Chains A and B, each alone.
Chain A
Amino acid sequence: MTLLTVERIKLFSTRSPWWCMIIAVALTVGLTAIFSAATTSDDLDSLTPATTQFAYNFGLVVMMVMAALTVTTEYRFGTIRSTFLAVPGRTPALLAKTVVVAGLAGIVGEITAIGSWGLAKVIQPDAPLALDTSQEYRNVFGVGLIYLLAAVFAIGLALLIRHTAGAIVIMLVYLFLAESLLPVIPRIGDHIRDWLPFIVGNNFIVAGQPEASDGPPVIEGLPFGPWGSLVYFTVVCLVLLAAGLIAAKRRDA
């Protein structure tokens, strides 16, 4: 408990987390608002709960950057050593950081999801935005869970890399290039795609979503259903975190 307090003080006593959170929410909700406002009455049927989440990746990336920064700036400025001086076991301190940062990312994810959906409803009250099916609930409320887990992923990666630029470049290259280019490889591409964590994680949100939707892309034929996808994504993120924790414990600070 005390360690959670420590990480909370650390996180909120600098300004960058605030900026990251504001940017994440503003980008995602703002884009959805523009999207909603630009939807003509003819297309109103396509403005579904899934569509309101089309921009969730924007906020996701920003929160992943924030999560990675909470680790790499500690290495950059040496405060990680102060942290390890206070908590020589290291792992409890880093777990506390993960809980606080990922929890915050989850909250921000829910805010962007509900904000996007709610604002769309305000702008286009006649659109079919009611949440009825379990798919629609996942579509909106599931976003926060993906934010939370993606933050865990980012922290694990940052603990392994330890440098801001390196960690963020690897993260972005992976998210935007690896996950979209690997599936293009003939013959084996589809098999690789089935196990790419963010594609699978996305499946948790979009599985079962109407085909014609403008929401986040749906990839057919993934091995897991929505909840299986969530479990797989969780396992990948936790494995990366565990690797990061082991590295942090073994290495000289």
Chain B
Amino acid sequence: MIEARGLTKRYGRTTAVNALTFNVQPGKVTGFLGPNGAGKSTTMRMILGLDHPSAGDVRIGGRRYADLKEPLREVGALLEAKWVHPNRSARSHLRWMAAANRIPAKRVDEVLEIVGLTGVAGRRAGGYSLGMAQRLGIAVALLGDPGVLLFDEPVNGLDPEGILWIRQFMHRLAHEGRTVFVSSHLLSEMALTAQELIVIGRGRLIAQTSTKSFIESASDSSVRVRGPELARLYGVLTGQGLAVQEAPATEDSPAALVVRGTSTEQVGELAGTVGLVLHELTESRGSLEQAFIQMTGGDVEYQAGGHTAAGAAPGGPGGPGGPGGPGGPSAAFPPPGTVPPPGSGTGPVLPGPVTPGVSGGPAGAPAPPAPQPGAEARRAGKP
């Protein structure tokens, strides 16, 4: 359980973290989401007592980090994998950290086993690949078998296998009843990892909510409809006062109409009452990246321009999901030619799950959180 109250950090005249108040509950993975430079790392460092807050405070299980007697037994943290002397072996690194909090030496071998570094534990850590360094960082975090775990951008720079491993690992830790707090600037990654989200932009809290409702409220849903008599369909829909856009035919998909602010039921019934034949009727959601940018709005530290290049992001080069992509059978991708929002393509993570809606499902709340089917598929697909 982590509680931040009015947590603030100022550097001279800039305010990196501005009166953040949030709770992180045990038993789930809580994502800490924000664009680069939003103050995530600074917040994590304040939680861990490395940086002193300018105002407010943050407690772990009711106590400040500095007041913990043997903190590694209560809080494990991976802030940066490279916090290891390059000429020291992984085992030596873990040995001194264990000794500092009187953790038995045999625990060192246990955590090396857990993260799969036993074979290379005697090698100098400077020669480790990023993935190995990240595993070592996780071994450090697990050393004291703590009830609270913090990870700062744990999947950055990892290959798909590493990403999947960390994601499953965090789920397991949360399942064991621990408090897991993970920061990321990739909503698509958080959608697969976190059940709860704390979203910040420019140091301010934007939302604390479940991942599901964040995505639902943030992403723009629309209905794509197609039939042999598009012009008539257009007339019928606009006649009901609906906002209809034409999506011209492309190589990948025939011409269709995109209707906003409605549900598949409404469109289907309207078409039915005038006896129109439909070839397609799907609900589609904007990409998570787009939702994220919408939510964080002007709160991006460095704006790159062109954020409004709308439409949902295309699937992007296959991430861990592979070329199969996230997908229901009727994945309704928006017309190509739309540009992925800046930032969404960085990182190795994921095709932005342009989430195929559940055809015919009610547009609103009860629909399962869109990315979940994709997540399941991915988990199942990778042994």
Q: Is A176 located at the chain interface by the 8 A CB criterion?
A: no
- Whole-angstrom distance from the CB of A91 to the nearest CB of chain B? 11
A77-B86 in contact given A84-B49, A252-B50, A252-B52 (Cβ < 8 Å): yes
Q: Which of A10-18, A194-202, A227-235 binds B? A: A10-18
Cβ-defined contact, A16 with B87, below 8 A:
yes
Q: Which residues of A contact B140 (CB under 8 A)?
A: 82
Cβ-defined contact, A89 with B66, below 8 A:
yes
The digit string for A66-103, where 1 denotes a CB below 8 A from any CB of B, is 00000001100111011111111100010000000000
A82 to B85, CA, bound (A): 11
- Whole-angstrom distance from the CB of A36 to the nearest CB of chain B? 36
Q: Which residues of A contact B79 (CB under 8 A)?
A: 81
- Whole-angstrom distance from the CB of B22 to the nearest CB of chain A? 21
Q: Which of B48, B51, B89 contacts A85 (CB under 8 A)? A: B48
A87 to B73, CA, bound (A): 12
The digit string for B269-283, where 1 denotes a CB below 8 A from any CB of A, is 000000000000000
Cβ-defined contact, A78 with B95, below 8 A:
no
Q: Which residues of B contact A85 (CB under 8 A)?
A: 48-50, 71-72, 77
Within 8 A of A (CB), among B48-89: 48-52, 65-68, 71-72, 77, 79-80, 82-89
A10 to B101, CA, bound (A): 14
A86-B89 in contact given A79-B84, A252-B50, A253-B50 (Cβ < 8 Å): no
Q: Which of A13, A88, A253 contacts B92 (CB under 8 A)? A: A13
Most B CB contacts (10 A, CB to CB) among A5, A13, A84 go to A13
Q: Which residues of B contact A89 (CB under 8 A)?
A: 66
Cβ-defined contact, A5 with B99, below 8 A:
yes
Most B CB contacts (10 A, CB to CB) among A10, A14, A74, A82 go to A82
- Whole-angstrom distance from the CB of B126 to the nearest CB of chain A? 9
Q: Which residues of B contact A82 (CB under 8 A)?
A: 83-84, 97, 140
Q: Which residues of A contact B48 (CB under 8 A)?
A: 85
- Whole-angstrom distance from the CB of A25 to the nearest CB of chain B? 21
Cβ-defined contact, B80 with A78, below 8 A:
yes
Report the nearest A residue to B49, measured CB to CB.
A88
Cβ-defined contact, A9 with B50, below 8 A:
no
Interface range on chain B (Cβ under 8 Å from partner): 20 to 34
Cβ-defined contact, B99 with A88, below 8 A:
no
Q: Which residues of A contact B77 (CB under 8 A)?
A: 85
Q: Which of A6, A16, A78, A84 contacts B96 (CB under 8 A)? A: A6
Q: Which of B83, B95, B100 contacts A77 (CB under 8 A)? A: B83
Within 8 A of A (CB), among B39-54: 45, 48-52
Q: Is B102 located at the chain interface by the 8 A CB criterion?
A: yes
Q: Which residues of A contact B89 (CB under 8 A)?
A: 13
Q: Which residues of B contact A73 (CB under 8 A)?
A: 85
Q: Is A134 located at the chain interface by the 8 A CB criterion?
A: no
Q: Is A182 located at the chain interface by the 8 A CB criterion?
A: no
Cβ-defined contact, B88 with A86, below 8 A:
no
Q: Is A41 located at the chain interface by the 8 A CB criterion?
A: no
Within 8 A of A (CB), among B82-115: 82-89, 92-93, 95-97, 99-102
- Whole-angstrom distance from the CB of B290 to the nearest CB of chain A? 35
- Whole-angstrom distance from the CB of A86 to the nearest CB of chain B? 4
Cβ-defined contact, A13 with B51, below 8 A:
no
Q: Which residues of A contact B85 (CB under 8 A)?
A: 10, 13-14, 73-74, 77, 79
Most A CB contacts (10 A, CB to CB) among B67, B100, B102 go to B100
Q: Is A3 located at the chain interface by the 8 A CB criterion?
A: yes
Cβ-defined contact, B97 with A86, below 8 A:
yes
A2 to B101, CA, bound (A): 8
Report the nearest B residue to A89, measured CB to CB.
B66
Cβ-defined contact, A252 with B86, below 8 A:
no
A44 to B340, CA, bound (A): 85
- Whole-angstrom distance from the CB of A233 to the nearest CB of chain B? 31
Report the nearest B residue to A82, measured CB to CB.
B83
- Whole-angstrom distance from the CB of A206 to the nearest CB of chain B? 38
Cβ-defined contact, A13 with B99, below 8 A:
no
Most B CB contacts (10 A, CB to CB) among A5, A9, A79, A85 go to A85
Q: Which residues of B contact A86 (CB under 8 A)?
A: 71-72, 97, 100-101
- Whole-angstrom distance from the CB of A81 to the nearest CB of chain B? 6
Cβ-defined contact, B88 with A13, below 8 A:
yes
Q: Which residues of A contact B71 (CB under 8 A)?
A: 85-86, 88
- Whole-angstrom distance from the CB of B295 to the nearest CB of chain A? 29
- Whole-angstrom distance from the CB of A243 to the nearest CB of chain B? 18
- Whole-angstrom distance from the CB of A22 to the nearest CB of chain B? 16
Cβ-defined contact, A79 with B87, below 8 A:
no
Cβ-defined contact, B50 with A3, below 8 A:
no
Q: Which residues of A contact B51 (CB under 8 A)?
A: 252-253
Cβ-defined contact, B92 with A9, below 8 A:
yes
Q: Which of A14, A16, A83 contacts B100 (CB under 8 A)? A: A83
- Whole-angstrom distance from the CB of A183 to the nearest CB of chain B? 40
A14 to B93, CA, bound (A): 10
A87 to B68, CA, bound (A): 9
Cβ-defined contact, B66 with A88, below 8 A:
yes
A88-B83 in contact given A9-B96, A252-B52 (Cβ < 8 Å): no
Partner-B contacts on A (CB < 8 A): 2-3, 5-6, 9-10, 13-16, 73-74, 77-79, 81-89, 93, 250, 252-253
Q: Can you spell out 6 A-B residue pairs with CB atoms less than 8 angstroms apart? A: A2-B100, A6-B100, A16-B87, A74-B85, A79-B84, A252-B51
Known: A82-B97, A84-B50, A253-B50; 14 extra A-B contacts, CB below 8 A, are: A9-B95, A13-B85, A13-B93, A16-B87, A77-B82, A78-B80, A78-B84, A81-B83, A82-B140, A88-B68, A88-B71, A250-B52, A252-B52, A253-B45
